[in-house]
Amino acid sequence: MSEQKITPARTICGETSLPGDKSISHRYALLAAIARGTSTIENYSPAADCASTLGCIEALGARVRLENGRVEIEGAGLDGLREAAAPLDAGNSGTTLRLLAGVLAGQTFESVLTGDDSLRRRPMKRIVEPLARMGALVEAERGEFPPLRIRGGELEAIRYEMPIPSAQVKSCVLLAGLYARGSTTVVESVATRDHTERALAEFGARIAATAGMATVSGGSPLDARSLEVPGDLSAATFLIAATLLLPGSELRLRNVGLNPTRTAVLDFLISMGAKIRVTGECKIGGEPRGDIEVGHAPLDGGVSSGGVSARMIDELPMLAALGPFTQRGITILDARELRVKETDRIAALVENIRRMGGRAESFPDGITVAGRSAGPLHGAEIEPYGDHRIAMAFAVAGLAAQGETTIQNAECVGVSFPAFFQTIEQLAER
């Protein structure tokens, strides 16, 4: 697949489940690799990013068996990983690279971590700096970019106040903390996703976590677990958005992750007029989940800023692309991090909204998108710049635009939601 045509849909109706949550899948796989015994992970994400994590832990000596979304991982124990024969390839996955760097900082052997062209342009000083403070030797290209060469060993616990809101950085430091002498604390001003803290507790680590602060004790062994990954709420957001846009639509999403550090997007959509109902809430393996019911609703528009932007960081592309369909438009502030994702998402959003006939302006840390008064969107050629979330956001906009939309290099959706286009086709009525 290189390009994907999207024709307008009348409605999105029915019921579906989502791929396993990408963030949680990475964490379960990494912790299983350094636990004692064999873990099983049900509903492991089919995303290319999560396959990158499995490839890396296998190269480091964990045994991995993958069958129909179920992964069995024979862990090596906290100190049982062995030096990989070649550089570890994280592909397009920032989460793989940044979290694994924390584990590798605690190993006595040397590792090289690299990735694709996009990942090799993403900032790594944010993890190099705290890992160096803990005593690891980490070399990066021009002090900032992958490949990273990591020589670990004896680490000292630190207290780390995060300069930017990032669950990847927090997780990297906490994972290194497993190998440090003493207790490592991470303090954050915005409570970012806490899957690492929850997963560490499940695997038996000594961890104390409250909103905005987590402390892990070094040296305590992890034990294998049987876990089930809930559906991915960030992937669900694209289907929810399509349902909201098309009159007469009704959709039920089964077994979606509802961790409170991830649900800001639901609150934001509800504040704009969306009718969203959650049923059957329960918790498995420390992670809340439930079914989501959504129907079409006219959207008012709104402003995202401060910690809300940080907590919706992966959903902001979809929200921005909803802007032209809202009454007042959508403005996103305090989201400078969007510039250093798989692509510069602010630039990609502005360019593609304009290609579809919408009005959008960028700021250094955000974007403002005019609402319906700027006129309806028309189909266009979309350039996602290899970014899965840009491709999916504009595919959804294309369902509600006039005429045909073409998504270039559409295979990039495989990074997080390989069956995205098939799922849309199953649910769309034309």
Stretch that binds ligand S3P, among 31-39, 143-151, 165-173, 404-412 (CB under 6 A): 165-173
Please say whether the beta carbons of 200 and 173 come within 8 A.
no
Tell me, yes or no, if 365 is annotated catalytic: no
Query: E strand or H helix at 27, and its extent?
Result: helix 22-33
Residues for the chain: how many in total? 430
242-245-247-248 Cα dihedral, nearest 10 degrees = 30
> What are the angstrom distances between the C-alpha of 350 and each of 3, 145, 241, 357, 367?
21, 26, 19, 11, 7
Measured from the CB atom, is 193 or 372 closer to ligand S3P? 193
Which of 166, 237, 259, 304 is in the footprint of ligand S3P by CB under 6 A? 166
Q: Output 64 or 340, the one with its CB closest to ligand S3P.
A: 340
One-letter amino acid identity for 375?
G
The distance of closest approach from Cβ of residue 206 to ligand S3P in the complex, given in angstroms and rounded to an integer, is 21
Which residues, in sequence order, are bridge partners of residue 36?
223
- Nearest CB to ligand S3P, comparing residues 173 and 399: 173
CB-based contact 90:56 (threshold 8 Å)? yes
Binding residues for ligand S3P restricted to 76-115, rule: CB under 6 A: 95
Integer CA distances (angstroms), 214 to 13, 35, 106, 128, 165, in order: 41, 20, 19, 20, 14
Q: Is 23 in the site for ligand S3P (CB under 6 A)?
A: yes
- 230-259 footprint of ligand S3P as x/- string (CB under 6 A): ------------------------------
DSSP 19: P
* Rounded to 5°, angle at Cα 304 from 302 and 309: 155
Strands (E), 200-345: 207-210, 213-217, 222-223, 226-228, 250-257, 275-284, 287-295, 302-304, 330-332
Q: Verify binding: residue 122, ligand S3P, rule CB under 6 A.
A: no
CB of 414 to ligand S3P, least distance (A): 15
| Residue 207 near residue 328, CB atoms below 8 Å | no
Closest distance to ligand S3P from the beta carbon of 356 (Å) = 24
Q: Is 193 in the site for ligand S3P (CB under 6 A)?
A: yes
Closest distance to ligand S3P from the beta carbon of 196 (Å): 7
How many chain residues touch ligand S3P (CB under 6 A)? 10
Exposed/middle/buried for residue 409 (C-beta within 10 Å: 0-12, 13-18, 19+): middle
Q: Does 167 bind ligand S3P (CB under 6 A)?
A: yes
Task: Work out how close the CB of 410 gets to ligand S3P at its nearest, in angstroms, rounded to a whole number.
Answer: 19
Helix 195-202 and helix 22-33: axis angle, to 10°? 40
Q: Minimum distance between the CB of residue 408 and ligand S3P, rounded to whole angstroms?
A: 22
Stretch 332-351 residues interacting with ligand S3P (CB under 6 A): 337
Which one of residues 158, 180, 222, 313 is an interface residue with ligand S3P (CB under 6 A)?
313
Residue 227: CB minimum distance to ligand S3P, A = 16
What is the Cα–Cα distance from 162 to 169, expressed in whole angstroms?
Answer: 8
Catalytic residue chosen out of the listed positions 314, 344, 365, 387: 314
Q: Which is nearer to ligand S3P, 162 or 370 (CB)?
A: 162
Cβ at position 22, least distance to ligand S3P in Å: 7
Q: For 140, what's the count of Cα atoms within 13 Å in the CB-facing half-sphere?
A: 23
Per CB under 6 A, the segment of 29-37, 166-174, 358-366, 379-387 that binds ligand S3P is 166-174
Residue among 10, 15, 44, 14 nearest 27 (CA): 44
Using the minimum distance from each CB to ligand S3P, give the nearer residue, 22 or 225: 22
Q: Which of 202, 228, 314, 315 binds ligand S3P (CB under 6 A)?
A: 314
Cα maximum dimension of the chain: 61
Residue span 30-59 as binding mask against ligand S3P, x where in contact by CB under 6 A, dash where not: ------------------------------
Nearer to ligand S3P, 21 or 291 (CB): 21
CA distances for 115 relative to 95, 342, 392, 410, angstroms: 11, 12, 22, 20
Given the rule CB under 6 A, which of 75-83, 167-175, 299-307, 379-387 is the region that contacts ligand S3P?
167-175
Q: Which residues bind ligand S3P (CB under 6 A)?
A: 23, 95, 166-168, 171, 193, 313-314, 337
Q: Give catalytic residue positions.
A: 314
